[in-house]
Amino acid sequence: MGEVRATARLRNFLDVGLAERGQGNLAAIPTSTLDCLVDTGAVMVLLPEDEVGKLGLLKGGRVIVTYADDRKEELPTARGLEVEILGRTMVTDCVVGPPLCEPLIGQLVLEQLDLVVDCGRKTLTPRPESPNLPLLKLK
């Protein structure tokens, strides 16, 4: 089984909101386009500290993460990350990893953007039942 990767466009949602209200230039907002590992075992997005700084994300809280080898580590989080994958956009928090670490896309993004991981084909696609927009259940 190989790894699945996705290209994500990342921005600071606070900057986007201010620009949309006329308090900045939308084209001048720092944007990162990263090749991310899609990690179905992860919950949140993990971004390198240098990318979080480049985007100017707000400081969040702290979380304890568990690695695949069962090590645990306390890491900071950042708030207000806008994530766009395959034309679908959401705003979320992210875990801040060490500089230059591999960026990860976790389950929260996959669920909210209604994306399906096909490990056999090593692809990430919109769910077939919702090719145009995310289809979310509310009960």
d(CA 107, CA 27): 30
Q: Give the per-residue pLDDT at 24.
A: 87
Tell me whether residue 64 is in a domain: yes
Q: Give the per-residue pLDDT at 14.
A: 96
Q: Give the per-residue pLDDT at 107.
A: 97
H/E stretch holding 38 reads strand 31-38
Tell me whether residue 133 is in a domain: no
Structure tokens that stand for 18 in this block: 């201010």
Tell me whether residue 20 is in a domain: yes
Mean pLDDT score across all residues of the chain: 95
Region label for 50, one of left (φ > 0), alpha (ψ between -120 and 50) or beta (otherwise) = alpha
**CATH code where residue 84 lies:** 2.40.70.10
Q: Give the per-residue pLDDT at 68.
A: 86
Is the CB of residue 40 less than 8 Å from the CB of residue 107? yes
Q: Give the per-residue pLDDT at 21.
A: 94
Residue span of the structural domain in which 58 resides? 5-126
pLDDT at 137 over 90: no
Tell me whether residue 28 is in a domain: yes
Total structural domains within the chain: 1
Tell me whether residue 46 is in a domain: yes
Q: Give the per-residue pLDDT at 16.
A: 95
